[in-house]
Structure 1
Amino acid sequence: MVREQYTTATEGTHIERPDDQNVYKIGIYGWRKRCLYLFVLLLLVILVVNLALTIWILKVMWFFPTGMGHLRVNQDGLRLEGESEFLFPLYAKEIHSRLDSSLLLQSTQNVTLNARNSEGEVTGRLKVGPKLVEVQSQQFQINSKQGKPLFTVDEKEVVVGTDRLRVTGPEGGLFEHSVETPLVQADHSPELRLESPTRSLSMDAPRGVHIRARAGKMEGLSQKDIRLHSSDGMLVLDAETLCLPKLAQATGGPSGSSEGLYEICVCPDGKLYLSVADVGTTCQENSLVCL
Structure 2
Amino acid sequence: MSQILMDVTDGSEHCCVTQADSSLQRSVSDHTKTARMVREQYFTTTDESGALAPITDYIYMIGIYGWRKRCLYLFVLLLLIILVVNFALTIWILRVMWFNTEGMGYLQVNEDGLRLEGESDFLFPVYAQEIDSREDSALLVHSSENVTLNARNANGDVTGSVSVGPSQAEGFGQHFNISSNHDENVFYADVNGAVVGKGKLRVTGPEGAIFEHSVRTPLVKAVLNKELKLESPTRSLSMDAPKGVHVKALAGNVDVTAHFDIQLHSTAGLLILDAESVRLPTLPVGEARTSGDSQGMYNTYEVCVCPSGKLFISRAGVSSTCNERQDC
TM-score range, shorter chain: 0.7 to 0.9
Aligned twin of 2:141: 105
The change in CA–CA distance for 1:184 and 1:254 in structure 2 (over 3 A counts) is farther
Q: 2:119 aligns with which of 72, 83, 89?
A: 83
Deviations 1:44-101 (A, max 9, x none): 2321221121121111111234322221121111111111111111111211111111
Distance, in Å, in 1 between the alignment partners of 2:316 and 2:203 is 48
Number of equivalenced pairs: 260
Separation in 1, partners of 2:178, 2:93: 47
Q: 2: distance between equivalents of 1:26 and 1:68? A: 55
Worse overlay, 217-226 or 46-55: 217-226
The equivalent position to 2:83 in structure 1, one of 41, 47, 53, is: 47
CA distance in 2, matches of 1:247, 1:282: 24
Structure 1 counterpart of 2:4: none
Q: CA 1:154–1:42 in 2, change beyond 3 Å: closer, same or farther?
A: same
Q: Say whether 1:264 aligns with 2:306.
A: no
Contact 2:149 2:162 in 1 (8 A): yes
Q: Determine helix, strand or coil for the equivalent of 2:36.
A: coil
Matched, 1:175 2:211: yes
Q: Which has the higher contact order (CA 8 A, sep 6+)?
A: 1
Identity over aligned residues, as a percent? 58
Amino acid in the other structure paired with 2:254: M
Q: Flag the 1:29–1:57 CA change in 2: closer, same or farther, 3 A.
A: same
CA distance in 1, matches of 2:98, 2:218: 63
1:144 deviates by 0.9
Query: Letter of the aligned partner of 2:108 in structure 1?
Result: R
Query: Equivalent residues in 2 for 1:99-138 (5 A)?
Result: 99-138=135-174
Partner of 1:281: 322
- The answer on whether the counterparts of 2:184 and 2:198 sit within 8 Å (CA) in structure 1 is no
Bigger radius of gyration among the two = 2
Measure how far apart 1:180 and its partner are: 1.0
| Structure 1 or 2: more helix by fraction | 2
Match of 2:240 in 1: 204
Instruction: Determine if contact 1:112/1:128 at 8 Å carries over to the other structure.
Output: yes
In the TM superposition, residue 177 of structure 1 has moved relative to its aligned partner by 0.9
Q: Is the 8 A contact 1:265 1:274 kept in 2?
A: no
Residue 211 of structure 1: CA displacement? 0.9
Farther-moved stretch of structure 1 (161-170 vs 243-252):
243-252
1:157 aligns with 2:184: no
Query: Closer, same or farther in 2 for the Cα pair 1:88/1:274, shift >3 Å?
Result: farther
8 Å CA contact retained: 1:71, 1:79: yes
C-alpha distance in structure 2 between counterparts of 1:135 and 1:26, whole Å? 82
Distance change in 2, residues 1:32/1:231 (3 Å)? same
Q: CA deviation at 1:232?
A: 3.7
Q: Identify if the C-alpha distance between structure 1 residues 186 and 145 changes in structure 2 by more than 3 Å, giving closer, same or farther.
A: same
Q: Is the partner of 2:216 in helix, strand or coil?
A: coil
Match of 2:51 in 1: none
Q: Is the 8 A contact 2:314 2:321 kept in 1?
A: no
Aligned residue for 1:67? 103
TM-score normalized with structure 2 length: 0.68
